[in-house]
Amino acid sequence: MIDFGYNLTPSSTLDIDDANMHLFDELCAMEPDALKCISCGSCAASCTAGVFTDVNLRKVLLSLQRGCEKDLLPQLKSCMLCGKCHIVCPRGINTRHLILSICKIYKI
């Protein structure tokens, strides 16, 4: 095997086959907007709370799709539900409703 000078550490590898996607499937059934996100980052760039906290809906959705919800779900507690991200979303995702649905399903 060729040594390229770097390795993947065990903490950065994802085993998607073992991920429990039941809750994400339930979220998608309740909120089809969860699948419409293209991860452009407009929501994170316009976030008022993002200056002071680590709230980032894009990262949360990506982690939920990968089955890693434990790490990023606490970020949603910092969301002020102001709606700026809904205004700038190019896909027209109702982000406030999506965040509230995530909190409901994942019991935050």
Instruction: Indicate whether 20 belongs to any domain.
Output: no
Its pTM surpasses 0.85: no
Each residue's pLDDT tens digit, 58-106: 888 888 888 777 777 778 888 889 989 999 999 999 999 999 998 888 8
Rounded to whole angstroms, the Cα distance separating 53 from 56 reads: 9
Instruction: Indicate whether 43 belongs to any domain.
Output: yes
Instruction: Indicate whether 80 belongs to any domain.
Output: yes
Say if residue 41's pLDDT is above 80: yes
Instruction: Indicate whether 53 belongs to any domain.
Output: yes
Sign for the CA dihedral angle at 11, 17, 23, 24 comes to: positive
Q: CA-CA distances (angstroms) from residue 25 to 7, 21, 82, 86, 105?
A: 32, 6, 27, 22, 10
Instruction: Indicate whether 5 belongs to any domain.
Output: no
Instruction: Indicate whether 24 belongs to any domain.
Output: no
Q: What secondary structure does DSSP assign to 50-75, as a single string?
A: GGTS---HHHHHHHHHTT-HHHHGGG
Instruction: Indicate whether 17 belongs to any domain.
Output: no
Work out how many domains the chain is built from and give that number: 1
Its domain, for residue 95, covers 32-105
Instruction: Indicate whether 27 belongs to any domain.
Output: no
